[in-house]
């Protein structure tokens, strides 16, 4: 059952046709997807293994090491040694996009501000062949331990982990690139398999937007001038996305850079040029991404 508060917000933000499309996306069974972990294996070994196990796969055009599973469940793949040994990482396609937009390089010192469980941290390490310096932060003790576990399982050797609140980081820190995949309502993640939006409320949304603003403000304070960061959420609500960026833009001289990823066309309208918001469907969770340059 969709939260009446969420439905009201969707109707206030989007046209009737767009809301219908979003709700149709909520009602789908979303395909499972994964990344091949090039820190520990190669593509041929993984694909050969999955083919022998009867998996039907669809290769993703915009990320060479990403695949969608068309005919099996999460339980099926978790039984396999390639999962248990960290040769693949189960990750939604939407969740892969922020790191692609950030475009990490081996020479970068990169901050992942809300890192657990490690999906994007391990992706950064894989994309830079363990050569970028990564600092990953998580304040929750249980999630912090999960982050460390996943980094070790995936063979990440280039990361320093900190159990702290990123909002309290010293302003003297400086990073070449920052990824802020902010805590959010999860309004883009609803599907047939995940319809639990009982926690959605105005009070919770207010707490989340306060946190999102404070995290983004901190990120822009410690990002080096002339460098880029990504702000993303798994929400499709402007209160958690465009409104947060507009608020910090009054305090910082920033520019929103275009994000170009070929082959993705399920976009929702946004009120800030160059930001993207994905409509939920059978392949993607609803997701917002902005590439921000600090002038």
Give the 3-state secondary structure of 25-77. Answer: HHCCCCCEEEEECCCCCCHHHHHHHHHHCCCCEEECCCCCCEEEECCCCHHHH
Query: 13-33: per-residue pLDDT in tens?
Result: 999 999 999 999 999 999 999
pLDDT of 192 higher than 80? no
pLDDT at 197: 59
Interval 161-181 mean pLDDT: 97
The region of weakest confidence among 24-28, 188-192, 271-275 is 188-192
pLDDT at 34: 98
Active site residue 159: no
Interval 127-153 mean pLDDT: 98
pLDDT of 194 higher than 80? no
Query: 142-169: per-residue pLDDT in tens?
Result: 999 999 999 999 999 999 999 999 999 9
Mean residue pLDDT across the chain:
96
pLDDT at 30: 94
Question: Confidence band (pLDDT; 50, 70, 90) for 198?
Answer: low
Burial of 252 per CB tally in 10 Å (0-12, 13-18, 19+): middle
What structural domains and CATH numbers belong to the chain?
Answer: 4-30+93-294 (3.40.50.150), 31-91 (3.30.70.1170)
pLDDT at 199: 63
pLDDT of 216 higher than 90? yes
Q: Among the options 159, 184, 234, 277, which is catalytic?
A: 234
130-153 burial, b if ≥16 CB within 10 A, otherwise e? bebbbbbbbeeeebbeebbebbeb
Q: Do residues 267 and 278 lie in contact, with contact meaning Cβ atoms separated by under 8 Å? A: yes
- Indicate the pTM of the whole model: 0.96
Question: Confidence band (pLDDT; 50, 70, 90) for 263?
Answer: confident
pLDDT at 195: 61
Q: Do residues 259 and 276 lie in contact, with contact meaning Cβ atoms separated by under 8 Å? A: yes
pLDDT at 279: 98
């Amino acid at each position: 059952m969709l939260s009446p508060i969420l439905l009201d917000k969707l109707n206030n933000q989007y046209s009737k046709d767009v809301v219908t499309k979003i709700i149709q996306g909520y009602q789908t069974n979303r395909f499972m997807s994964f990344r091949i972990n090039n820190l520990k294996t190669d593509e041929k070994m993984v694909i050969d293994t999955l083919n022998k196990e009867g998996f039907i796969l669809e290769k993703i055009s915009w990320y060479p090491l990403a695949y969608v599973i068309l005919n099996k469940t999460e339980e099926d793949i978790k039984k396999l040694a390639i999962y248990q040994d960290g040769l693949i990482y189960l990750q939604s396609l939407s969740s892969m996009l922020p790191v692609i937009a950030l475009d990490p390089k081996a020479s970068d010192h990169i901050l992942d501000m809300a890192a657990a469980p490690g999906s994007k941290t391990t992706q950064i390490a894989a994309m830079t062949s363990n050569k970028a310096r990564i600092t990953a932060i998580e304040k929750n003790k249980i999630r912090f331990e999960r982050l460390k576990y996943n980094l070790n399982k995936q063979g990440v050797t280039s990361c320093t982990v900190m159990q702290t609140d990123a909002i309290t980081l010293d302003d003297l820190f400086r990073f070449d690139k920052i990824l802020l995949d902010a805590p959010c309502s999860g309004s883009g993640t609803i599907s047939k398999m995940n319809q639990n939006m009982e926690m959605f409320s105005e009070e919770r949304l207010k707490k989340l937007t306060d946190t999102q603003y404070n995290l983004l403000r901190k990120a822009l304070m410690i990002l080096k001038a002339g460098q880029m960061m990504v702000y993303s959420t798994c929400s499709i609500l402007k209160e958690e996305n465009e409104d947060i960026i507009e608020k910090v833009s009054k305090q910082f001289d920033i520019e929103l850079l275009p994000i170009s990823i070929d082959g993705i066309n399920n976009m929702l309208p946004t009120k800030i040029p160059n930001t993207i918001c994905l409509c939920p469907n059978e392949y993607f969770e609803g997701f917002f991404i902005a590439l921000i340059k600090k002038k």
